[in-house]
Structures are given as structure tokens and as C-alpha cells.
Structure 1
């Protein structure tokens, strides 16, 4: 899968981190970061898959985006800062500017938090 390119690079630097890729096929929005960090425009996308390090999106192939933007996944309150990693036609692979917190990732996936007693 396309996110594997990102994961291969990151596994060497973060061997204990999980880079499991989850297929979610959920609607989302791309919000470009403009002059003075303005966010006036929003574009629709489909979030195909997601990991703690990045995501694969389907976007309009004619859409021109800056290198950095926010990804909003429908049903999730917070935007995720992203950087474009690779683009081919309608397929856009993005890397998150920081790893997703496991609890946040579980919330996006619709999972209950892991609450094991010590």
C-alpha cells in the first residue's frame, strides 16, 4: 500500500512505534495553510487509509495544493497538520507533521480507549 513508503523510512528511526495501516474510507476536508496561517478554503477528499504517521487520500487530480495543509476527517473535531509526500493522479499520500496519539487514532477509528489496570 502507498503508506508503506513513509513507514519504511520511519521504522528505522522509531523501531518501537507501530505503523499499522487502517482502511477507513471516510470523507474528509483539506484546508490549505495560506498567508499568515489563514485557512479560507476547504476541499473535499476521501481518506482511504490512515496510520499513526500518515494517510492516503483520494482528491480531485486537478486540485493544486500547497505542500502543507490540515486534514479534517468527518466526525473528528481536530484538524491534523500534514505535508504532501507523494501524489499520482487522484492518489495523495501525506505524512503527518507529528505522530498521532494512540488515543486520538483509536477515536478516529471508532474504538474504545484501551484501559488496562496495572
Structure 2
């Protein structure tokens, strides 16, 4: 599981990441990322709405996402907030495919983090 120190619990942290952070989305997952000026460990929170399925399905999706994020926590900068929102296709997706979707979204999000709104692979 995700280390206790890295779990997002406060509603204010969720709101901060969603309202003020950058967003990257796919049909399966939407990630909200916000960097704060602190040396605290990164915090990760999960949102799995009722559209994903009944309680058993939602809890299974959350457990799978927590497990996947545990191995990817070291790639997040210190002091950052990350909210992972699962969309309905996440419920029926195999773990390997969900991991690939998460990796692509994280890579896009962290690549954009340093570049602002300008593309990184085009001429200046």
C-alpha cells in the first residue's frame, strides 16, 4: 500500500490540487498535479465516483491505483499534490493496462511541469 505519510486526507489538499493544479486526462484516468513550496513528501489522493460502479468495484479500483502509485511515488517531486480520478473504464481494465495508462499520464504531466504552456519538442 501507499505509505501513510504520502496519503492525501484533507479536503483542502484535494481542492488545491484540482482547482490550482495542472490536469492531464484520458478516457480512463484524470490526474491533477500541483507543486507546493515545501519539503514534505508528495501526497497522493484518489477519487472514484459512483459512475465507476458499486462500492465493491470502486474500492477495488482504489486499491489497484494505490498499489500502482506506491511504485511510482519516487518520481513525484517533494511537496507535490497528486489527485488520481478514475473514470468508468477503469473498472473493467486489466491491471497491466491500467498501469500503462497511469504511466503515460504521469509522464505527460511531469514532462509539462517544467515547460509551462510551450511545447517541449518544437523549435523556438
TM-score by length of 2: 0.27
Question: Higher strand share goes to which structure?
Answer: 1
Higher relative contact order (CA 8 A, sep 6+): 2
Query: How does the TM-score come out when normalised to structure 1?
Result: 0.28
The structure with the largest helix share of the pair is 2
